Copies of this chain bind each other. A is one copy, B any other.
Amino acid sequence: MENLKEEVLQANLSLPKHDLVTFTWGNVSGIDRESGLIVIKPSGVKYEDLTAADLVVVDLEGKKVEGELKPSSDTKTHVTLYRNFKEIGGVVHTHSTWATTWAQAACDLPALGTTHADHFFGSVPCTRHLTEKEIAHDYELETGQVIVETFNHRNINPNHVPSVLVESHGPFSWGENASKALKNAVVLEEVCKMAYNTFNLNSERSDLDYMLLKKHFFRKHGNNAYYGQ
């Protein structure tokens, strides 16, 4: 648990270093799959003041099991992702400029280049509009549900496309652990910026050839990956 806390702490502290957050607008969590316990940032605490001891531990029902502080107001969304995406070990939520732009525009992020293909095997989807009832009911839980629904209905593998754009809100990213989830959040921000620019320059562009998408994604992922050491 102490290792997980340290990893979640470092990933939270990396948010301002990668220019993904203004004030306290972002949070990272990690899960220990054996115990089913989740470590998450406390709500509204500044990154520069954050210590491992401030982190909050909740279970897969979202109930606090350890910690002095209140967990992130987005905790139920994180929990819903861990309950449904069984292989993920870390979740990141931010309001980073470019990913939030695509979420506010309510557009899927298409795979326009190999930078995208190296990390996301196809478009990063944007969720549907939440209904008034969903917003009124249990908002953060429903936010998680609509993400899961998006991946299920559109038959997208969350391990191959480890990010989503929540309509009118912003991005969530995930990965094997908190540090890989953070990395995906950084990549998402960069490819959102480049896709925005690409469309401004040439509005006729659309998704990469499937062959090139596959080539790049599996150059970096899976058994035949040959990128890195």
- Please state if B168 and A104 are interface contacts (CB–CB under 8 Å): no
Q: Cβ of B104 and Cβ of A73 under 8 Å apart?
A: no
Known: A104-B205, A228-B44, A229-B44. A98 touches B136 (CB 8 A): no
Chain B residues lying within 8 Å of A106, measured Cβ to Cβ, are 202, 205
Tell me which residues across on chain B come within 8 A of A129, comparing CB atoms: 209
Interface set, chain A 184-223, CB cutoff 8 A to B: 186-187, 190, 193-202, 205, 208-209, 211-212, 215, 219
Complex-state Cα separation, A229 to B107, whole angstroms? 34
Tell which of B44, B105, B193 touches A205, judged by Cβ atoms closer than 8 Å. B105
**Residues of A within 8 A of B (CB-CB), count:** 59
CB within 8 Å for A101 and B198 given contacts A73-B226, A95-B115? yes
**Inter-chain contact A193/B227, CB cutoff 8 Å:** no
The answer to whether B73 and A136 have CB atoms under 8 Å apart is no
- 0/1 interface trace, chain A 134-160, chain B, CB 8 Å (1 if under): 011001000000000000000000000
Report 15 cross-chain contacts, Cβ distance below 8 Å, ordered by A residue.
Answer: A23-B187, A44-B229, A73-B227, A97-B194, A104-B194, A104-B198, A107-B201, A107-B202, A129-B209, A132-B211, A135-B209, A135-B211, A136-B211, A196-B200, A200-B200
